[in-house]
Structures are given as C-alpha cells and as structure tokens.
Amino acid sequence: MEEFSIQTIVNGRYLIRKPLQTGSELLIAGFHGYGQTAEDELALLASIPGSETCTLCSIEALHPFYTPKGDPGACWMTSRQRETRIEENVRYVEAVIERVLHPGIKLVFHGFSQGTGMACRAALSGKHRASGVMLLGGDIPPELALTDRRLNVHIARGNRDPIYKQENFRSDCTRLDEAGISHISCSFTGGHEAAAEYSESAGEFLQSMILCRS
C-alpha cells in the first residue's frame, strides 16, 4: 500500500459580532473546543465582561462531524497527519484574520479546551501579532517555543476539570514563568467549562488589554 496526499480547497466558517458599544479597538478571535461549533465559542466570548466593546470573531474548525448526541460539531485535528493539519489550520486562521483585522486594531486570541492549542499556535506561529492570549481548559502545545514573541497571557482551569489536569495547569504556568511571559493564572470552582469566577477574571484581563498601549 502507498499513501499519498493531495491539496484541495475546503471552505472554512467563521462568525463576526460587531461591537455593541464603543470604547475599545480590540478584536478577539476565538477557537472552540472539540465537538463544538463557532456559535459555542461566540457565546463564550460574549459572556466575558467588557467584550461588548470589542469585535468578536469565532472561527470554526475545518473538520466537521456528528457528536454522539447527533448534533453537528467540529474538531481541529487528530493525531493522523498532525503536522500537516497544524500547518493548514494556522494558514486558515491567518486568512480569516487577514479579512477582519483592520489597521490600528489590537488582536487577542482566545481558546477553550482543544481550541487552546489553536490560540497558542495562531499567536506564536501565525503572521499576525497578538497582544494577548486567553486559554481556558486546555494546555499549551509542548512543541511551541514561548520566547519568540512578547505576549500577555490569561490561563484558567476549573478545579474539578477532568480533562485539563491540575498537573498540566501547573506545568503550563511554570513554562510561562520560565519564559518570562507576563500571565495571570485563574483557578476557579468548576469543571471543564466557564464559570462566574472565570468570567470575572477574564473580564479584568480583557480590560487590561483594552487599556494596554502595545
């Protein structure tokens, strides 16, 4: 048996919510978790205090499937052809950001669960420079070099999260410390999901990004 790859065109899907109020020049680009959709991530972004003054962009993964409940969902990649999928995803995100990022607008990436890997890759491997990265319930890909770009990071975990383990959370915080990256770590009461404590902490971080000059 011989295995081959062929390049083809696949349409990606993303959602935009324009600012509901004036007050900031910030674009938040978000990545949903495994089996979720762009609508799920957009709802999460919209729940963060202060996001009403921002442009929200929720990017849906390129690989759709039906969840066990029969609902449509998507995932960013599996272990098969991992490096190829990473490159495709980064180029896909770059194309979306190219469309929606205007001069003078600051960029923040947000990821939940499997989407945290995409948020990190977009910020550290993509061509669009981000001011901040917000990570919820998922780890920082181990192969990424954290010293390549200057970032502000908000990293969060529910204390009962069965997927993003406490040891992984601690390891990621240590990596950020060792790389000299400014970050806020948030451990809140909850599971593999956002909670009120998370929203409050994320909102404070977002406000700091709005006020940040760089």
User: Rounded to two decimals, what is the model's pTM?
Assistant: 0.95
**pLDDT of 213 strictly over 70:** no
pLDDT in tens, 81-130: 999 999 999 999 999 999 999 998 999 999 999 999 999 999 999 999 99
Q: List the chain domain ranges.
A: 13-211
Per-residue pLDDT at 147: 78
Q: How many CA atoms lie within 13 A of 76 on its CB side?
A: 27
- Strand, helix or coil for residue 119: helix
DSSP secondary-structure letter at 35? T
Alpha helices (H) along 101-141: 115-125
What mean pLDDT comes out for the span 31-56? 97
Q: Can you give the pLDDT at residue 59?
A: 98
Cβ within 8 Å of residue 72, ≥6 positions away:
37, 64, 65, 66
At 155-206, the pLDDT tens digits run 999 999 999 999 999 999 999 999 999 999 999 999 999 999 999 999 999 9
Give the pLDDT of residue 214: 57
pLDDT classification of 23: cutoffs 50, 70, 90: confident
Compute φ and ψ for 109, nearest 5 degrees: -100, 140
- pLDDT computed for residue 198 by the predictor: 98
pLDDT digits (tens, 9 = 90+) for 48-91: 999 999 999 999 999 999 999 999 999 999 999 999 999 999 99
Q: Which fold has domain 13-211?
A: Rossmann fold (3.40.50)
Tell me, what's the pLDDT at 173? 97
Q: Output phi, psi for 79, to 5 deg.
A: -75, -20
- pLDDT number for residue 150: 83
Can you give the pLDDT at residue 149?
79
Considering only residues 71 and 22, tell me which one the structure prediction assigns the higher pLDDT: 71
